[in-house]
Structure 1
Amino acid sequence: MGTQQEKDELYALDISGVEWEGPPGTSPEEERVEIARLPEGAVAMRSSLDRETVLRYTAAEWEAFVLGARDGEFDLDRREP
């Protein structure tokens, strides 16, 4: 995944002017997960209920997450206790 230097650079980016997107059919006033696209394929993610806490992912991390989600890796009914 991302090196420590990549993560440090990612968290050093000023993202105050990014455009946050939520799932289609939702509004910013609803509880939802929002993402913002960053340079070089990186992505920032936050909750609409806590806009100050932002997670940032390198392009490789985001790709791994998306592929895992598509494959059902995070489905609660598939997890073992």
Structure 2
Amino acid sequence: MTNWRKSSHSGDGDNCVEVGHGVGIRDSKAPATHITLSPEAWSAFLKVVRAR
């Protein structure tokens, strides 16, 4: 079982993206599916998000 986390910036809302250690990302409204990312892809994703 993966422990999914959402950003503290999401507050109590359920309209967010969650991150699972070693698994990937998922939409909190559709938790049954997720996108698996390599460590390199995750780093690239974070770089783009932080640049905005």
For Structure 1 versus Structure 2, the TM-score category normalised by the shorter chain is: 0.7 to 0.9
Structure 1 residue 36: deviation in Å? 0.7
Matched, 1:31 2:31: no
Structure 1 residue 23: deviation in Å? 1.2
Match of 2:6 among 22, 34, 41: 22
Inter-partner Cα distance in structure 2 for 1:32 and 1:67: 19
Inter-partner Cα distance in structure 1 for 2:5 and 2:34: 13
Structure 1 residue 37: deviation in Å? 0.9
> Once superposed, which parts of structure 1, at least 4 consecutive aligned residues long, lie more than 6 Å away?
none
Inter-partner Cα distance in structure 2 for 1:48 and 1:69: 18
Please, what TM-score do these two structures have when normalized by structure 2? 0.81
Q: Who is 2:36 aligned against?
A: 56
Q: Who is 1:46 aligned against?
A: 26
Inter-partner Cα distance in structure 1 for 2:28 and 2:49: 20
Inter-partner Cα distance in structure 2 for 1:66 and 1:36: 14
1:1-49 C-alpha deviation (Å, 9 max, x unpaired)? xxxxxxxxxxxxxxxx01000111534x6221100111xxxx4111111
Identity percentage over the alignment? 22
User: Unaligned 5+ residue runs, structure 1?
Assistant: 1-16, 73-81
